[in-house]
Structure 1
């Protein structure tokens, strides 16, 4: 009694079929659950297995729907007719009638049998021995039960051996597509490669593969045309994936679209575990990968007041395979399947989309840690989710969004991600200038932040222009000694030094140092930064003794106030080593450079621009001492890193390339 014909287009999944066979061949009563995300092909695997089993033995095969009591009852009535059990004459006798079929399975007359309970997804129907469907599921000494289910809880409560069903392998997905669309080999002009990209974009999920092929066949378009629609924008992508298609081997009444297959699961989760439904909606507006557990634990969605509620909610989502968990370095991260994310966006009403996208931005803004070098990895793990929240929310009247954007840009600068920071700072400056006016403090802060990142990128002329604009604005609305005004003076002084305008730079640096000592005190971190910056411009003018004295004072103060591993302390180490090198004190310079490099690698990471600067500077002082082999190795590493991180045309990259040429010439001599 198999309700569907054999699927002649069934492809691959041999290891899953073998797992089912292995578990079904055991003596006694067997219970197996094919468990996984909707659209993963659980029903098709069960169907292929029972056809293989029917052809190899005299085992009786039965198939019922587990999607609801009415469908299950219809299936049991059909079995009763087949095995000649008298039908119930009235509704009041129906429970006894269904129990009689259960007893038949459990008795000796039934012989060897396999019963498939398909789409057993509603946990309430299988929660316990007295649940609406579970109380009629046979046990006994023999026979095999195969459940197909999206719910891990159903598999657990029914004491099944669980077989996880996930995406297809790439080759399997391509073979399945070919059986529905046509021969893969007949593709020309890159169509096969484009088809492979389409299958990868839908996660090699069988239902999505079949649905995409069906749309192309029915509309007579090539993969390249489908791909163009798919990539146009999120709205077009969702429309494409919501297209209905026919699958004659699916339960009647089941939604036959790629995204629509998940809607019934969302309905059930929302009804049975509202907190899990809220959490799922929130997750859908983060970046779908590498979602930190802390972000979800502290999100504050309705009904999730502690760790117990969190674990119940996340277990519900992982149990339905909507969300998967991974462990890295003792930390848990979650991932949402791309199709599930798109499906949630299609499922929600427009007002719900606005509500949850705003909620997600609020959560990230509240929880995003203040950047400290000790929290570098944590900040990096939050960045993709903040970016995902900001997409589509760039409302010029949304002050919270602009504040989040501006803060995120500053974090990007601290992490050495200058191109991303520039884009964000430009947008924040443009919007704040239009909405708040050119001399609003927030607008001037955005200008100052943009000027700083332009300086880090080596765009010195534009940085000077933006710096002067920010400084002039702050001098108009603030006092000359205000910390924000002095910050703008400091940033302008630095970029002037980068351009070789040392006299003007020195004058401004002395103004900053004098103002900060007066307002903040001699040991304040900003005062020490002013001292450090003045020492650098003195060094550029050949005033090495005065520069060294100032750098030692700045280093001593930073070690005391900030600690030995703070990035500013490490910057002082690097710059003290440089001036010692200019004075010919090479052994001491080398020792300090190595110490600073070790600290930056540990604190900032191997590819941070400051780490690459330390590599470059150590290589130079090694060259001065004739240690050419080690110097060459380190120069090459610095150059490769700068080309990768800063780009081939950045001034620091060009300096590295020039330093390497100079070293090679010295070796030739």
Structure 2
């Protein structure tokens, strides 16, 4: 609707007004016309065999089919990655007319570009008529630069005109339309989706729009991101590049560090470097320059995290990398970190947070914020997984990191994000303090699963050297220590549990004061722990103080006050003040029954404690009836094989033995032993306690053959038991019993493994009886006794 000279002024104004909304269409038409002009110019140039500047220029000295435009020579240290090459060839098998495409993805430094480079040379050997081109796609500028080089080398544009023409479009059109022979193009380092798919070049088109599309040409992409790889070649599947195999890693190391190296040292180094090619090459460069042997390198590397970080930052010149660029593992991954930070800041935050947990099985619960949208969290994690920096389990419930990635991320935080190291360490501590399962009076399988999942991360963050002492961080530490202490006690690490509880109490009392409920919780838990490590006097003293403060702060009928009363009664029982213990336990039981109800597990625990006191007082029948009542109710409420019942069963067998009901006692012991072994394993303190009491019962009945059968129980477990005994007096006591009665029978020769490395005091005439609680899946109040040995 262009105005004509014959139109009146009013008609010309009307047509001009109506054309205002057509700017975009006009722009698109102009762009198309521009492309057509360039194509026509290209056709004219190629048809005459002349250059772009002058039709009188001589034609190129080579045929296009002979082109090999790769900016690197062949890597003499390349080790075969045959599986990957086979997958590339398979991906290139497409229907005639379709474009063969493949995409390699994997962790930075895993060898994607080296594989692509080697593939180019192998392809050229197999098919000499195939032209090969290499395009850098990390940035717009590098992409345009490599396209210009192709244009100049192929005679499509003259070097003096490179700044005046759209070289990218000319090269694309030439490969799509005029190049008659087969060709292979490697598009390397497509690591930023924003740059490749969205940012326009000077010709107003994106990089992705300028990739030649024709069945004559094959494209091999490399990227660190699986997500990008999927977008590049849909509906085909991208090819993951794995770490080197043990043999490939050894071959690479030997080619880089000639000499006579032991197989053991090579394997040690490869394990430390996680079979990552760039890390192996970097270590080789370091050893060559510093004249270090593999053992000397390992000694330096293992000194500390800071030493490993420094060595990961060691720069060297790597084959097939950017011109005149010194590389390092740290620098390579920092490129990924920065790309992630630009594209998804939450992903970068998660990566930073993960640095301060153990690198194995990091629970999603420790990473996801309370108010965070689940889809946002999943998207952020997916980015890290796509870059191969993090690996997820099938359910997405936990994540693993490469050790080297974790170290490099810490370096990134130290160098690039100064001041943020403690920020993320603090967030890790607070997350663990919130999520580590709090002490429960009636534990559940979920409690133990979460505790097992979180424990390695908690131990690591507690060792972090925080700068300064802030009260909020100290209180988070105290909360974590308090929860860990109970869990460790159940596991049997009672001395470690005591130390952590004492630190928790010290922090809370110093900052919050002795009357704060959190302080009283640490105080009460410590008083409860002391008797199990023969600290009855300390338990009574601290228990009396805690009970007085709880009555003052919480009131007489608060469940925590009642619980403290029951624990104090247990401490008196261990001092053999049985009448006082009975009176206090009855008060605790009646109060709990009134406040919580007769079948509440806290109430049943008080009743279980009372039965234990009655047994110690010699009131066996009354104790038996009480025990059976507790077992009956718990079985009905929790099920027959619930772990909280196992110690009740053990103590019932103990009581039946006192009454001379040996057959019934043995049956209950054996059933309990089977159940505990199934749940805890053979070397768990609870299992060992039941085994020890069963052996004592059999010895008293002179059943030597039965004892001999049980004497091989710990074959192959000596080393593990020795380690466990160091931190558990109750386990030591039980094992002492077993050594005296199980492994020194007439006519029985124990295997070397069954008693290897053990010793005991021959002069000791009596084992101290230490009431025991189960460690794992345990309900507070249950305890398995160990018989006195006269």
TM-score bucket of the superposed structures, by smaller chain: 0.7 to 0.9
CA drift at 1:323: 1.0
Residue 323 (1) aligns with residue 390 (2): yes
Q: Which residue of 2 aligns with 1:150?
A: 224
Alpha-carbon deviations, 1:437-476, whole Å to 9, x = none? 78987667546545655655xx42xx33542442354366
Report if aligned partners of 1:106, 1:140 keep a CA contact under 8 Å in 2: yes
1:570 aligns with 2:646: yes
What residue is the counterpart of 1:403 in the other structure?
479
Q: Describe how 1:582-601 pairs up with structure 2 within 5 A.
A: 582-597=658-673, 599-600=675-676
| The one of 50, 54, 57 aligned to 2:120 | 50
Contact 2:347 2:380 in 1 (8 A): yes
Partners of 2:102 and 2:219 within 8 A in 1: yes
Deviation of 1:98 (Å) = 1.6
2:318 corresponds to which of 240, 247, 254: 247
CA pair 254-410 structure 1, distance change in 2 beyond 3 A: farther
Residue 165 of structure 1: which of 218, 241, 250 is its match? Answer: 241
2:626 aligned counterpart, secondary structure = helix
CA distance in 2, matches of 1:654, 1:519: 35
Q: Work out whether 1:311 is the aligned partner of 2:378.
A: yes
Distance change >3 Å, CA 219–CA 624, structure 1 → 2 = same
- Measure, in 1, the Cα distance between the counterparts of 2:132 and 2:222: 15
Is the contact made by 1:447 and 1:470 (CA closer than 8 Å) also made in structure 2?
Answer: yes
Shift of 1:339: 1.7
2:585 is aligned, of 513, 516, 527, to: 513
Residue 138 of structure 1 corresponds to 212
Q: How far does the alpha carbon of each residue in 1:535-586 deviate from its partner, in whole angstroms, 9 at most, with x for none?
A: 3355456543343233234434544666655543332122112211332324
* Deviation readout 1:293-340 (Å, 9 max, x if unpaired): 4444x4347xx413x22332222111111111223xx67431112122
TM-score (normalised: structure 1): 0.85
Residue 207, structure 1, aligned to residue 278, structure 2 = yes
**Equivalent position of 2:337 in the other structure:** 266
- 1:288 aligns with 359
* Residue 713 of structure 2 is aligned to residue 637 of structure 1: yes
Q: Equivalents in 2 of 1:621, 1:396: separation in Å? A: 56
Structure 1 residue 606: Cα displacement: 6.0
Equivalent residues, number? 648
2:683 and 2:214 mapped to 1: Cα distance? 64
TM-fit CA distance, 1:360: 2.2
Q: Distance in 2 between matches of 1:454 and 1:194?
A: 47
Kept in 1, the 8 Å contact 2:523–2:546? The answer is: no
3-state SS in 2 of match to 1:218: helix
Counterpart of 1:100? 170
Q: Counterparts of 1:127 and 1:466 in 2: how far apart (Å)?
A: 70
| Cα offset, 1:114, TM superposition | 1.5
Going from structure 1 to structure 2, the CA distance change for 1:87 and 1:615 (only over 3 Å counts) comes to farther
Is 1:60 the counterpart of 2:163? The answer is no
Cα shift readout 1:77-111 (whole Å, capped 9, x = no counterpart): 111122221259476742xx322312322336341
1:43, 1:18 → 2: CA distance? 16
Match of 2:88? 20
Aligned to 2:61: none
Structure 1 residues 547 and 666, CA gap change in structure 2 (3 angstroms): farther
Partner of 2:191: 121
Structure-to-structure mapping, 1:536-615, within 5 angstroms: 536-540=612-616, 542-559=618-635, 564-597=640-673, 599-600=675-676, 608-615=684-691
Which position in structure 2 is the counterpart of 1:391? Answer: 463
Change over 3 Å in CA distance of 1:628–1:259 after alignment to 2: farther
Distance 1:166 1:127 in 2: 26
Q: After alignment, is 235-244 or 215-224 more displaced?
A: 215-224
Deviates most, 631-640 or 155-164: 631-640
Q: CA deviation at 1:145?
A: 1.4
Residue 655 of structure 1 is matched in structure 2 by 734
Sort the Cα spacing of 1:495 and 1:167 in 2 relative to 1 into closer, same or farther, 3 A: farther
Deviates more, 1:121-130 or 1:287-296: 121-130
Query: Does residue 646 in structure 1 map to residue 724 in structure 2?
Result: yes
Of 55, 75, 81 in structure 2, the residue corresponding to residue 7 of structure 1 is 75
Which residues of structure 2 form unaligned runs of 5+? 1-68, 749-790
Distance 1:215 1:508 in 2: 72
Q: CA deviation at 1:377?
A: 1.7
1:229 and 1:508, CA in 2 relative to 1: closer, same or farther beyond 3 A? Answer: farther
| Paired position in structure 1 for 2:423 | 355
The one of 516, 530, 543 aligned to 1:471: 543
Name the residue aligned to 1:341: 406
The corresponding residue for 1:112 is 182
- CA separation in 2, counterparts of 1:465 and 1:396? 35
| Partner secondary structure for residue 34 of structure 1 | strand
**Partner of residue 32 from structure 1, selected from 73, 98, 102:** 102
The superposition leaves residues 583-641 of structure 1 with CA deviations (integer Å, 9 ceiling, x where unpaired) of 23244334434554455456656654324434444555567778766654445436848
Q: Secondary structure at the match of 1:148?
A: strand
1:395-433, CA deviations, whole angstroms, 9 ceiling, x for partnerless residues? 573212211121122122233444553453354355556
| Cα 1:490/1:171, change in 2 over 3 Å | farther
Distance 2:637 2:93 in 1: 71
SS at match of 1:521: helix
Distance 1:81 1:514, change over 3 A: same
Q: CA 1:443 to 1:645, structure 2 compared with 1: closer, same or farther past 3 Å?
A: farther
Q: CA deviation at 1:650?
A: 4.5
Q: Distance in 2 between the 1:664 and 1:140 partners? A: 80
Distance of aligned partners of 1:514 and 1:654 in 2 relative to their CA distance in 1, 3 Å threshold? closer
Q: How far apart are the structure 2 equivalents of 1:352 and 1:555?
A: 54
- Structure 1 Cα separation of the partners of residues 565 and 746 of structure 2: 43
Moved more, 510-519 or 205-214: 510-519
Query: Counterpart in 1 of 2:52?
Result: none
Give the deviation of 1:8 after TM superposition: 1.2
Match of 2:255 among 165, 179, 182: 179
